[in-house]
Amino acid sequence: SASSRVSCWVVDVDARLTDEAAALFPLQFIGQVRHDPASGLFRLTPDAPAMQDVSCEGDGTVASTPSQDGSSVGDASVRWAMVNRAAAAPELSRFSHQALFQAVKMRGVSFDLLHNVGCLFGFLDVVHGLFSFLAMERTAELCTRRLAAGVAALAEGPPKATASAARTKVSAPREAPQPGKEAENYDGLYVVELQTALRAAQKRWAPEGR
């Protein structure tokens, strides 16, 4: 405005989606969900396999009651999604691609197209030790647990023995090693920080009394 004492010139406008918002599009496509603007939740589309055996109401939803975490108890159409920013995992560079995909698959990093739940890589750079996960589940707690299981597999590194490789569950995942001198110039997210955030989220969404 000419009457304003402060002048402003626009040099460049960079209008784009954030990385997190852009990651939701492939997740919606794979999970066969759509955003419900009324509730803010993801709901399965009528054509999704998980909806074929569900008795739905006229709007494609299932009668339900709200829970403490904002989801709907008994609503089979609701899906929760979680995406993490690209994080650095020092142990990731020690994996071969075959060992990597085998290790994360044993921890639940796969997508069940029949039930429209699962976890998959949104970004993976084995050489530089960077990764990102996309997870979808029926509740916020299950979504966090599924993502945390995949992160734990990368944080622990490749199995050191055949016996340990055959184990499909680890009750207490080990902490990832602290970044060394080779990562001094990296100022992004580390897997240790991601694990801390996921533990806090699990405590927040866990049912009372657990």
The predicted-structure confidence for 58-75, as pLDDT tens digits, reads as follows 444 454 444 444 444 558
First to last CA, the chain: 59
Cα 98 from chain centroid? 22
Tell whether the model's pLDDT for residue 210 goes beyond 70.
Answer: no
Strands (E), the chain: 33-35, 42-44, 65-66, 72-73, 78-83, 87-88, 111-112, 117-125, 130-137, 189-190
Q: Rounded CA gap, 33 and 83, in Å?
A: 15
Half-sphere exposure of 153 (CA within 13 A, CB side): 26
pLDDT-wise least confident of 8-12, 63-67, 99-103: 63-67
pLDDT in tens, 165-179: 444 444 455 555 455
Tell whether the model's pLDDT for residue 99 goes beyond 60.
Answer: yes
- Contact call for residues 98 and 83 (beta carbons, < 8 A): no
Q: What is the pLDDT of residue 12?
A: 83
Q: How confident is the model at residue 108 (pLDDT cuts 50, 70, 90)?
A: confident
Q: What is the pLDDT of residue 68?
A: 47
pLDDT in tens, 74-83: 588 999 999 9
pLDDT-wise least confident of 10-19, 159-168, 201-210: 159-168
